[in-house]
Chains A and B, each alone.
Chain A
Amino acid sequence: MPTAQPSNQRDGVDVADPWAAIEACYAKGWTDGLPVVPPTELLVDAMLAAGSWLPDDVLLHEPVRDRAVTAGKAAINAVMAGCLPEYFPVVGAALLAIGDASFMLHGPATSTGGAALMIVVNGPIRARLGLNAKTNLFGPGYRANATIGRSLRLILLNCLDCRPGVLDKSTQGWAGKYSLCFAEDEASSPWEPLHVSRGFTPEQSTVTVYAAESGHNVLSHGTADPEQVLTCFADAMAGLGSLSPGRTVIVFAPEHAGHLRRAGWTRPQTQQWLYDHAWRSLADLKRGGKVEPAFFASPALVDWLYTDAPGGRPAVLPGPDDAGRVLAGDETVHVHRGLGPDDILLTVGGGDAGGHSAFFPSWSRGRSVPFVTKEIFA
């Protein structure tokens, strides 16, 4: 594991009391707007001791700006976020996940799209830490959920300079950027746990990260028929406002998951059905101004537009001046959300009462970044 430059792990500010410490953190610009726990040496040492890293071990290297976040700096931010020391292995695993080269963190951390960093936790550690997978799992009330996700945001703010208007250029952002961490409700899932579907064992604990736009509540209360229920999800996924060749996360509420379980629907079957039905016509995309002239210069985007076109792609592609003009045949070209069923990640969570699930579009109007799963060593 690489190590950073000779560390400045003990640099800080001397304060008279806890209230002065909280205000000092505000004055230094070290917060997300909410008060932080003052990161005293004692608290930071306890945080570090709960992980398996040395203070100068690099947990996240962001290559575009060549920034290395050490375990020591991560521990300071985790204290500030309000984490208990036993949460630190999860924070570290999440940093390793968002630092995976495939995740290309610079984009979701800075883009106008305003992504939140979603963390889905699987495995035995969920119960040990009291991570909420049930009622109000995206909302307030649980220390582990609130503070593990907040740690990542504070690290982006403090270590990667992703401050609003500086490096974070989110047009609007959303509340999930404070924290978006939850456990999968493995017991309510019709399928193997999410991390098992991604190559881990049930006994392992993992984080799965995703660059998420704000979630859409998908309501369905009046039917238990899988295709009727899933029709509501496919419709949300095909909304012009968020339609893209990017990824999808669906968090099924236990009620909706139960409908799929009782009908015997498998995970791949559900992914395939959603992919097949989450589409808009190319004509619709054009009417909504969603087909940009530059698309036709990108082979990948042309492939996306004409994947499901009767007769294949046209012999002559539109030029820059008529990219948005609706042509004969565009009504029969189906443009799907994503590039295939594997772009749809299915998980389960929420209270036992209520037909309220969630669709989280990926960040970006383009391909976005993949799901990344890493083991938690605790």
Chain B
Amino acid sequence: MTRILDPTLRSPVEAATVARASRKRSLDGATIGLLANSKSNGMALLDRIVERLRERHQIGEVVRVAKTNASAPVTEGDAQMLAGRCAVVITAIGD
């Protein structure tokens, strides 16, 4: 037998280091963060999602952030702000 090596990055180490945030049981009163990718319709899509959420839940404040460039990661400052202020953050692309 000959071993051929795995060219991918999938590994148990990587899987173990990514933990999911806890799920919210209710959105009532929750501050909702919106993170758009900065393309033409990203925030339009997110605003429509907020409209739909308002029809079903008594959501609280909405915080809107658009990345400066769709190809770049969200800035550390924006990520910290969203994490600090929001119960839930929704991100979307829209073009």
- Which chain A positions have C-beta within 8 A of B11? 5, 8, 11
- Which chain B positions have C-beta within 8 A of A15? 1-4
From residue 1 to 53 of chain B, which have CB atoms closer than 8 A to chain A? Answer: 1-9, 11-14, 17, 40
- Which chain B positions have C-beta within 8 A of A155? 7
Tell me whether chain A's interface is mostly helix, strand or loop, or mixed. Answer: mixed
**B54-62, B70-78, B81-89: which one contacts chain A?**
B70-78
B9, A11: Cβ atoms closer than 8 Å? no
- Which chain A positions have C-beta within 8 A of B12? 8
Q: How many residues of B contact A (CB 8 A)?
A: 21
B13, A13: Cβ atoms closer than 8 Å? no
Assign chain A's interface to a size class. 35 or more
**Is A33 an interface position by the 8 A CB rule?**
no
- In the assembled complex, the Cα of A217 lies from the Cα of B73 at a distance in Å of 36
- Which chain A positions have C-beta within 8 A of B71? 64, 104-108, 111, 369
- In the assembled complex, the Cα of A372 lies from the Cα of B14 at a distance in Å of 30
**Is A166 an interface position by the 8 A CB rule?**
no
Please list 30 pairs of residues, one from A and one from B, whose beta carbons are closer than 8 Å in the complex, sorted by A's number.
Answer: A5-B17, A8-B13, A10-B3, A10-B5, A11-B5, A12-B3, A13-B4, A14-B4, A16-B1, A16-B2, A21-B2, A21-B4, A28-B6, A30-B6, A38-B2, A40-B2, A40-B3, A40-B5, A41-B5, A44-B5, A77-B7, A80-B7, A106-B72, A107-B70, A111-B71, A112-B95, A154-B7, A158-B8, A159-B8, A293-B40
In the complex, besides A13-B3, A76-B5, A292-B40, 8 extra interface pairs with C-beta distance below 8 angstroms are A5-B11, A24-B4, A30-B8, A41-B5, A67-B9, A155-B7, A159-B8, A369-B71
10 closest residue pairs by CB, A with B: A107-B71, A104-B71, A8-B11, A294-B40, A158-B7, A76-B7, A12-B5, A11-B6, A14-B1, A64-B73
